[in-house]
Amino acid sequence: MKIGAMNNPRNSIVDEIRLFGEYGFDYVDLTVEYPQATPEKIDAGMREIQDALSSHSLGLVGHMPWFLNIIHPYESVRKAVFAECERVFDTCSRLGIEHVTIHPDFMKLKREQKDVLAETADSLRTITKSAKDRGLTLCFENFEEDYFTAEQLRRLISSVDGLMFTLDIGHAHMKARKTDTVVHMIKELKPYLRHVHLHDNHGWKDEHLPLGVGTVDVPRVTQALKEAGYDGTITLEIHAEDREYLAISKRKLQAAWG
């Protein structure tokens, strides 16, 4: 098991790398995102970023901006989103990243669930192929259970050639307010599980709290991951202004993993 942290896109990437190196993380979950981590800014600072990663022996995984509307109802906007995805993939490829996480479109716009699923699968076929053409594996992330159930996610991911799954434990717990939902998702999506995001919440909204602050049963979740045979990357997505909570959460995850 390798533990990483996601950069805060408002901060300098090099400063984030140095911080994560000091905390003893294994890799950076690089969100290629406005304002300080856009493809243009990463490409301009590529040498310095690579030198910082090398100095701290840190690996990389990729993370798409959360606000891309991959099923926008206007075709022109959707095509622009696909083009932005390609720019992110080009940057990730130059950095030697192997897999990149993409999020569901957060705007359902009162569309029928069957239509949301069909349109998501259709868009993901285009985006997954773009990633694959650049040597990248695309991983689709879950949101709350009301958005896509575990069963719907499995059908969706299995219908897109080459698409894999990023389990976001905080999202799976959100609104469900029970760890059973997270464990069920692990079991249901086990064949496609490539990456994990971990953060805490109280089961009501997407709080991205340090581990132990909310109600996610971290020891039970880590046990379920181990029983599923997972021993890959786990990113701590802790959005606290006090960055020491990252180090605290890392220790808690290591203790829970045992």
Would you state the pLDDT for residue 125? 98
Go through the chain and tell me how many residues it has: 258
Half-sphere exposure of 108 (CA within 13 A, CB side): 13
Fold of the domain built from segment(s) 2-257 = TIM Barrel (3.20.20)
Q: Residue 22: what pLDDT?
A: 98
pLDDT < 70 stretches in the chain: none
Compute the distance between CA of residue 190 and CA of residue 173 in angstroms, rounded to an integer: 17
Cα–Cα distance between 178 and 64 in angstroms, integer? 28
Q: What is the pLDDT of residue 85?
A: 98
For residue 175, what pLDDT is reported?
A: 82
Check: CB of residue 155 under 8 Å from CB of residue 163.
no
